[in-house]
Structure 1
Amino acid sequence: MSTRRTEEPGGLRYGWTTGACATAATTAAYTALLTGSFPDPVEILLPKGQRPAFALAREELGADAAMAGIVKDAGDDPDVTHGAVIRSTVRHGAPGTGVVFRAGPGVGTVTKPGLPLPVGEPAINPVPRQMISQHVAEVAARHGGTGDVVVEISVDNGEELARRTWNPRLGILGGLSILGTTGVVVPYSCSAWIDSIRRGIDVARAAGYQHVAGCTGSTSERVATELYGLPEDALLDMGDFAGAVLKYLRRHPVPRLTIAGGVGKLSKLADGHLDLHSGRSQVNHDLLADLTREAGGDPELVEQVRAANTALGALHLCQPAGLPLGDLIASRARDVATEVLREAPVEVDVVVIDRAGTIVGRA
């Protein structure tokens, strides 16, 4: 845990990325390897100038290796790695080799092209590698080392934790990724999820796929798979982040995109919202009423739809009258998606489902 806390204006605590923790653990371990003692707490410099200090949770010093471990503190962000122990074991390397990275237990290995690391490399992302290398060089200069080291990063229980992330689908096998571009976890920024969406598109493009599906959850993933026979790594777990999928595909197009999701979330997309989270956008029942009127609904039905508690409730009101509200939501959502994609060569179709996974609208 850091000895210094930072907060957002709303009072939520920032946390530290796995990359920052790995950097601090490496700094402590290499210092101990050269001097015989661990700095505790250990202070590091982050890319934007912050200098957090981390208490050591584990330390071991041997004749030719040193290990330090730090408990990941994600602050008030609901991060899957919060509380995990990030370890770095540092050994002397061959002269002239610089910093060589290894994946220890709980850290994954890249097995598919399209990620910012070559196939076969430990899933330690470029910025954490830069941070670790910079601190290794500083410790070497301070204590008379060569800076030629083998750095093995591991995460306690990381393989189990990784099953709750995108890693298996992205082809990162055996554990978690060591992530972070600033070293700081901003509470509820959802940057890791959005980054995973982008990496998913990169992997799909590298595999040569012509069709991907952005899905709001596991039920819509199943429906998209049954409809189109898409492989798992062509399925983008977009959750609430429709905008992240569309904006990244605008710059990195795939010929065909299916957007699949529940009627509530896709009615928000139909209303122009690109973040579909319930805390950041709401179903517009006036829009649903207008669509019902356009479909030929009588005034009484239009007002019932306007007063409905949910989008699914509105849909159920229209079904006995034979009004295709689901198709109209899908069509409007497709229009919004196409507008965000601008001139990108991406064909879009939309599939709207209910909670059971029954298709209730398509465009």
Structure 2
Amino acid sequence: MMETAAPPNRPLKRGWTTGSCATAAARAAYELLITGSCPAMVEIALPGGRRVSFAVAMHDASGASATAGIVKDAGDDPDVTHGAVIRATVQRADDGSGIAFRAGPGVGTVTKPGLPLPPGEPAINPVPRAMITAAIDEAATLLGATRDIIVEISIPGGEELAKKTLNPRLGIVGGLSILGTTGIVVPFSCAAWIHSIYRGVDVARAAGLPHIAGATGSMSEKAVQQLHGLPETALIDMGDFAGGMLKYLRRHPLPRVTVAGGFAKMTKLGQGLLDLHSRAGEVDLDWLANTLRDAGAPDELVTTARNANTALQVLQDAQRAGFSAGDIVAQAAWHTAHRALGNDAIALDVAVFDRDGRLVGQSRGPDHSPLPRKRR
């Protein structure tokens, strides 16, 4: 799908994740189930604490269950789910069972390891699950009603839309995933994003900061800030544009820069990619397996890495084997970043974090390479 440019002189409009829409739909459906009346507008809390309201697009009740739907608004982001109706159907469950999740039509099911959810689970990611749970818990407190609920999320037409995503390759079958870590969709605009990176570097230079960090996402940004005790001004929202940040720093240097990101993104950087978006290339599992092999990884780990479903699975397998794949990837990423930076006067390091913000790998600069000679 081609990106649609925003009108001139207007900031790109942000949108809502499928997770936010599913949460709002679940909250509305729950109120309909308990009270017999569906609100026209429903308010939910985003993970950062901000409260936002959604218009309920449809609702239906049939005795034992209730359904509500929210139209997904992705703002100016070229999202395949923009305009889709995210539906939630809720029904009472056994006392003490809590909240259970099901995949309805158009929502996928996980079939392979290496994702945040185990095989067999509905593709409703952990943060949206937590958001839905919190929304229902809040409504249950207000209404003095049960918290034992089955929540089924569905997206009409979702199975066809999923063919335009990476879900089939990742082993998510039957439809789309319910995603989101912040609840908000930030529009993807290369020019606008790179411009903001440049301005962030300029501000840091003007403030005389000795150290900045460019992160691929909000989780790694928070983690690297805590790791190095950096002020907000030192944090650069690099996103997928590692090359854009590093090449700008070549011409506008600071004393030190840290590149921070998750294991998969830093694996791509290690492969030699400077644009870390999926459109530019995927994780090369053969490259990752060969790199681990050359660093002395056990043969069994090398084999499982080559046949893994995702980079996350490789990291988890390596952790179980007691092998620091994070450090290996961090050092490989350092070499790519160093070439792009092209300025030995700037101290460079790479930090790799897992999905929970835990440090799983760090580079050690030019004097330590995790890529020893191949075993003979």
Task: Please give the alpha-carbon distance, in whole angstroms, between the structure 1 residues aligned to 2:128 and 2:121.
Answer: 14
Deviation at 1:199, TM superposition (A): 7.8
Misfit runs of 4+, over 3 Å: 189-194, 197-202, 212-221, 223-226, 228-236, 253-259, 267-273, 338-341, 343-348
What residue in structure 2 maps to residue 87 of structure 1?
87
Aligned in 2, Cα 1:214/1:90: closer, same or farther, shift over 3 Å?
A: farther
Give CA deviations for 1:37-68 in whole Å, capped at 9, x if unaligned: 11111111212232221112221111000011
In structure 2, what residue type is equivalent to 1:252?
G
2:339 aligned with 1:342: no
Task: Please give the alpha-carbon distance, in whole angstroms, between the structure 2 residues aligned to 1:347 and 1:21.
Answer: 45
Task: Please give the alpha-carbon distance, in whole angstroms, between the structure 1 residues aligned to 2:98 and 2:310.
Answer: 37
Please state whether the residue corresponding to 2:341 is helix, strand or coil: coil
Q: Is the CA contact (8 Å cut-off) linking 2:113 and 2:309 kept in structure 1?
A: no
Task: Please give the alpha-carbon distance, in whole angstroms, between the structure 1 residues aligned to 2:280 and 2:130.
Answer: 39
Counterpart among 221, 228, 252 of residue 326 in structure 2: 252
Task: Please give the alpha-carbon distance, in whole angstroms, between the structure 2 residues aligned to 1:339 and 1:133.
Answer: 39
Task: Please give the alpha-carbon distance, in whole angstroms, between the structure 2 residues aligned to 1:76 and 1:132.
Answer: 25
In structure 2, what residue type is equivalent to 1:342?
S
Please state whether the residue corresponding to 2:146 is helix, strand or coil: coil
What residue in structure 1 maps to residue 341 of structure 2?
272
Task: Please give the alpha-carbon distance, in whole angstroms, between the structure 2 residues aligned to 1:65 and 1:87.
Answer: 13
Task: Please give the alpha-carbon distance, in whole angstroms, between the structure 2 residues aligned to 1:64 and 1:83.
Answer: 29
What residue in structure 2 maps to residue 157 of structure 1?
157
Q: Is the CA contact (8 Å cut-off) linking 2:18 and 2:180 kept in structure 1?
A: yes
Q: What's the RMSD between the two structures over aligned residues?
A: 4.4
Q: Percent identity?
A: 50
Task: Please give the alpha-carbon distance, in whole angstroms, between the structure 2 residues aligned to 1:121 and 1:346.
Answer: 36
Give CA deviations for 1:241-273 in whole Å, capped at 9, x if unaligned: xxxxxxxxx9735679999xxxxxxx9995439
Please state whether the residue corresponding to 1:79 is helix, strand or coil: coil
Q: Is the CA contact (8 Å cut-off) linking 2:330 and 2:363 kept in structure 1?
A: no
Correspondence 1:117-128 to 2 at 5 A: 117-128=117-128
TM-score normalised according to structure 2 size: 0.55
In structure 1, what residue type is equivalent to 2:159?
E
What residue in structure 1 maps to residue 179 of structure 2?
179
Aligned in 2, Cα 1:78/1:141: closer, same or farther, shift over 3 Å?
A: same
Task: Please give the alpha-carbon distance, in whole angstroms, between the structure 2 residues aligned to 1:155 and 1:168.
Answer: 17
Please state whether the residue corresponding to 2:19 is helix, strand or coil: helix
What residue in structure 1 maps to residue 147 of structure 2?
147
Task: Please give the alpha-carbon distance, in whole angstroms, between the structure 2 residues aligned to 1:68 and 1:25.
Answer: 5
**Structure 1 gaps, min length 5:** 1-8, 205-211, 237-249, 260-266, 274-337, 349-363
**Structure 2 gaps, min length 5:** 1-8, 194-215, 219-238, 241-260, 291-302, 313-323, 343-347, 351-361
Q: Is the CA contact (8 Å cut-off) linking 2:285 and 2:308 kept in structure 1?
A: no
Task: Please give the alpha-carbon distance, in whole angstroms, between the structure 1 residues aligned to 2:280 and 2:363.
Answer: 29
Correspondence 1:260-339 to 2 at 5 A: 270-272=339-341
Task: Please give the alpha-carbon distance, in whole angstroms, between the structure 2 residues aligned to 1:123 and 1:76.
Answer: 25
Please state whether the residue corresponding to 1:87 is helix, strand or coil: strand
Task: Please give the alpha-carbon distance, in whole angstroms, between the structure 2 residues aligned to 1:55 and 1:129.
Answer: 21
Deviation at 1:118, TM superposition (A): 2.0
Correspondence 1:22-61 to 2 at 5 A: 22-61=22-61
TM-score normalised according to structure 1 size: 0.56
Q: Is the CA contact (8 Å cut-off) linking 1:256 and 1:347 kept in structure 2?
A: no
Deviation at 1:142, TM superposition (A): 1.8
Deviation at 1:347, TM superposition (A): 4.0
